[in-house]
Amino acid sequence: MCNLQKLNLAGNEIEHIPPWLGKKLKSLRVLILKGNKISSLQDVSKLKPLQDLTSLILLENPIVTLPHYFQFTIFHLRSLESLEGQPVTTQSRHEAFERFSLEEVQRLERDLEKKIMETEELKSKQTKFLEEIKNQDKLNKSLKEESMLQKQSCEELENNLNTKNELPFSWFLADPFLPILFSSLKVVPSGLNCTLFFMVCMIICINMLMYIFSFKTGLLSQEMCLCMYV
């Protein structure tokens, strides 16, 4: 089959030339497709791999009524010596080359322009993608720095809170009225009016309550700040 040199497929109602024909029958020299339903010039292009094809017959196919069918076929099938039973002359080959070589160049130019546009589009997408990655890296770095600052701030608040929780009641011992109270307990005569002693105790108690209130208020404020950071 691979060494087949002549193939007659006339009158088989073939609509398209199968792609395998040009790949499998490399030795084919004569191809007869008369009386089928082939209508596209692209089917002729499928025969380009047949480098030894010298004779082609496509009579009674819709394709032969297409403009420039004869020149198109000669241009693409360079080895043809006979088309539709007519010899392929140098003049007809030259005319085919003049016409379709220009069209081929224009087609190649369009393909090249399309490829250039596709390449530019890919470059644009790549640049945009790299920019997005760069921005994402900046955002991640910023978030990391902010997280570290928040962690540091939380640690400072915790340290302050622990320090206040551990504060001894030295304020009580440093109260200016405390020595007076102790002295009073030692030297108050039995007949002295206890009013002064009572007033001193009241003042110390008031100071104690005010300190406790301010101390608890400070703790509550720091705890709220700590909760907000957490």
Length of the chain: 230
Confidence of residue 208 (pLDDT cuts 50, 70, 90): low
Q: How many CB atoms lie within 10 A of CB 121?
A: 10
Greater confidence, 195 or 78? 78
Most confidently modeled of 15-29, 140-154, 182-196? 15-29
**The overall pTM is greater than 0.75:** no
pLDDT higher at 166 or 75: 75
pLDDT category of residue 155 using cuts at 50, 70 and 90? confident
